[in-house]
Each structure stands twice: as structure tokens, then as C-alpha cells.
Amino acid sequence: MTGLPFALAPRMTALGGSEIRERMKRLGERDLIHLGGGLPDPILFPTGRFAEAAATILADPAQARIALSYAPSEGHGPLRAWIAARLTARGAPCRAANILVTTGSQQGLDLVAKLVLSAGDTVMLELPSFIGALRAFDVQQVRYAGIPEGYRLPDPAPRLAYAGPDFRNPTGTCLSLAGRDHLLDLADAGAMPVLEDGCYEDLRYEGTPLPSLLALDIRRQGGIERSRVIHAGTFSKLLAPALRVGWIAAAEPVIARLTLLKQAADLASGTLDQMIALALAQDLDTLTEPLRAAYRDRRDAMLAALAEHMPEGVTWSRPEGGLYVWLTFPETIDGGTFAGRALAEQGVATISGGAFYPIEAQRNTLRLSFSLASIEDAHEGIRRLGRLAHEMMG
């Protein structure tokens, strides 16, 4: 189950050469259907609320002086308190001292990797996994192992476990309650920290929310100060990615060490961004309901189109939230070849599933995202992909 990473080379599978570039030029942006990258849709950003919040902050001389100065390295105090209160309400009791504000959740992943990992260490993770996390781990020159179904830990013993339990990138699937307990059992057995990537947990469209790994482990251990879980969150998927405001929640000694690493990286995250995030967070659930409704409709359109147009033998995930659908073809179909032909011949951008595996790649897979696709584009894009799938399988 172990193996070296693909050095530091880009993980995104190349989709072709000069022929595809020429095809892209001929297609033009309006003809290309984006079902690949999982970017939040700018049309859904609450731009008016951003403008109001910034204007209010900067119109008040006292607030403006704070907003335009350095924040503490740990983050803007009122925002840390808000995050702690939200986590506490969700079953993970903690205080502001347990929160470090980061420049997006990606910085959180990077800081944890730097804190925990050394060259040759093993990271135990879900297969497939988020490319951004793999990049953060790759820099530390680690090995990888999949999370075992049983209780025998990989050899050599992992130094860190990583999981995205809710609507994870790239599959859109959730870790079951039993799966969460199993992962925490493994962490206890191996005395290893668990890095929980919670960036999609608020993008639920149906079903019943499950407790986070942090909440479950706090119950097990009797408090956050004994918990092995390091929880990463972000406002990027709910408000706007350019805000670059994320956070880490963990035991105070972990936060203290991560704060030193953050000081070395960028000293502090932008104060104005943090204050705007806090202003919008006061009404976060109501503010983001239109976003969840839009993504829910786009997901439904994509799933309906898959059922209509994909040939027998192709299967896909049916996510209850998040931004992704994961396709699995028969083993005779290479996802990289399919993605290249989809772009060059059908004008549909997708991502080969093999790019998300650090080891044991299943290359008959494809990641789709419905975040940037209108209902019409979702249906038309899947219709074109279904046509190509019929051709390649037939």
C-alpha cells in the first residue's frame, strides 16, 4: 500500500498537445462547457454584501485603523471567537485559543504538513484524495498509504492521517459514521494526528449532517486539548475564494506551534479580509442559502443527464452536497484519454481521475464538477460526454 509520490511534478494530467490547443482556439470560450474545475461560481458571490461590509468598516475611523493594520498572527480575535462558537454549536466545544486563522484552508494544510511530516514519513489517506493536500504533503517528500479497511496499520507506521469526510474532493462522497469511528480508532492505535479537511461541510443539499471528526474525537478524549484531530475550514466555498480566510482548530499546543510556522510564512492573514468575513458570517446560513439552492439544482441536472445519456457500464457517485460527481468507466477506458478527447472533440472540460491518486491510480475514472455549469450546460455537457462514452465503449 505504500509508494513514493510522483516527485514534485504537476498532478493534473496533461490533456493533449498542439492539436488540443488548436481545438481550444477554434472553440472559443462561449462554446467550451466547464465540467472540470471545482471553482465556486462568481455569479453567486454576495458582492453587494461585500461592498456594504467593507464600506461600513472603512467609514468608521476606529475600525479602519484596525482593518488596515497587521492582525495578530493567530488571527482577528472576534473572528476566532465566532469560529470557536460555531464549532462548539456543532458539537466540538472549543475556545478562541484553539483557532488559528489561515490564508485559506490550503495554507492550513501546508502548515500542518510542515509541522508533522519529515522526508520518508508515511501519510495515510483516502484514495483518491484532494490534489492540493497531496501537493502540501509532496513537498515534505513523504510516502503514501491508503486507509485500511481493517485495523492493521500500514507498515511503516503512518505519521499523519488525512481525510475529507464531507463531500470530499474529488468523489463528492461522505465518510460514514462507522468510517469516521474506524479512522479515529486507527489514529488511536497509531498515536497519530488526523488532519480533517472540512472545506465542504456547509455545502449540504440533502440528508442528515454527521458529526465532524473533531467533534467525535473531542467526545472520545474528553476535550479538544486531548484530541488528535486538526480541523481545517474555510470561507472560500461559501463567500468567495479571493477572501482567503480559512482556519485551523486544534489543541492549544498545536495552535501555538502552527502560529510560529505562520509567522514565518506570511506573518498574519489580511485584517480587512478577516473583518469582512466576520461581518458576513453573522448571517452566514441565510446568506448562503441561495448558493446551496443553485448548486443543488445544478447537481440534480447533472445526475439526471448522466442517467439519460451514459451507456450501461458507467457508474457515478450521487453526492448529497459539495461540488463533485465521480465517474467510473469499465477498466478498458482510460480517463486521461477520455478527458483529452472530451476537450478536443466535444468541447467539454473534465479532469482525469488518475490525477487524484498518489499511489494505485484507478485510471478508468473521471471527476466532474457542476459548480460552474448552468442547468442547460450541465445537460448538454453530459450529453456530449455520453456520446463519446458510447463511441469509446462501443
What's at 78, amino acid-wise? P
Quick one: cell of 293? 439552492
Interhelix angle 271-281/77-89, rounded to 10 degrees, is 40
Question: If we measure between CA atoms, which residue out of 105, 123, 108, 87 comes closest to residue 4?
Answer: 123
Same domain, 39 and 123: no
Helices of type H across 130-176: 131-138
In a 3-state reduction of DSSP, which class is residue 10? coil
Decide if 251 is inside a domain. Answer: yes
CA 217 to chain centre: 21
Q: How far apart are CA 37 and CA 241, in angstroms?
A: 14
The three cell numbers of residue 358 are 498518489
Give yes or no for a contact between 117 and 160, defined as CB atoms under 8 angstroms apart: yes
Q: Cα–Cα distance between 394 and 100 in angstroms, integer? A: 53
Asked whether residue 244 falls in the same domain as residue 322, the answer is no
Structural domain of 327: 18-45+286-393
DSSP state of 9: S
| Separation of alpha carbons 347 and 323, rounded Å | 21
Q: State whether 291 and 366 are in the same domain.
A: yes
Cβ-proximal residues to 126 (8 Å cutoff; 6+ apart), any chain? 146, 147, 162, 163, 164, 168, 175
Domain boundary among 233, 251, 285: 285
Q: What distance in Å separates the CA atoms of residue 143 and residue 333, rounded to the nearest whole number?
A: 28
Residue 120 region, left (φ>0) first, then alpha (ψ -120 to 50), else beta? left
Let me know whether 305 and 202 are in one domain: no
Q: For residue 156, say if its preceding peptide bond is cis, omega within 30 degrees of 0.
A: yes
pLDDT tens string, the chain, 394 residues long: the values are 333 333 333 343 333 444 444 544 454 545 899 999 889 999 999 999 999 999 999 999 999 999 999 999 999 999 999 999 999 999 999 999 999 999 999 999 999 999 999 999 999 999 999 999 999 999 999 999 999 999 999 999 999 999 999 999 999 999 999 999 999 999 999 999 999 999 999 999 999 999 999 999 999 999 999 999 999 999 999 999 999 999 999 999 999 999 999 999 999 999 999 999 999 999 999 999 999 999 999 999 999 999 999 999 999 999 999 999 999 999 999 999 999 999 999 999 999 999 999 999 999 999 999 999 999 999 999 999 999 999 999 8
Task: Provide the terminal-to-terminal Cα distance of the chain, rounded to the nearest Å.
Answer: 34
Alpha-carbon span 140 to 45, nearest angstrom? 35
Q: Any bridge partners for residue 315, and if so which?
A: 328
Q: Are residues 61 and 113 in the same domain?
A: yes
d(CA 162, CA 226): 18
d(CA 275, CA 56): 11
Instruction: Verify that 229 and 241 share a domain, yes or no.
Output: yes
Q: Of the residues 240, 260, 285, which one is the last residue of a structural domain?
A: 285
Same domain, yes or no: 148 and 102: yes
At 336 the pLDDT is 97
Same domain for 356 and 210: no
The total number of structural domains that make up the chain: 2
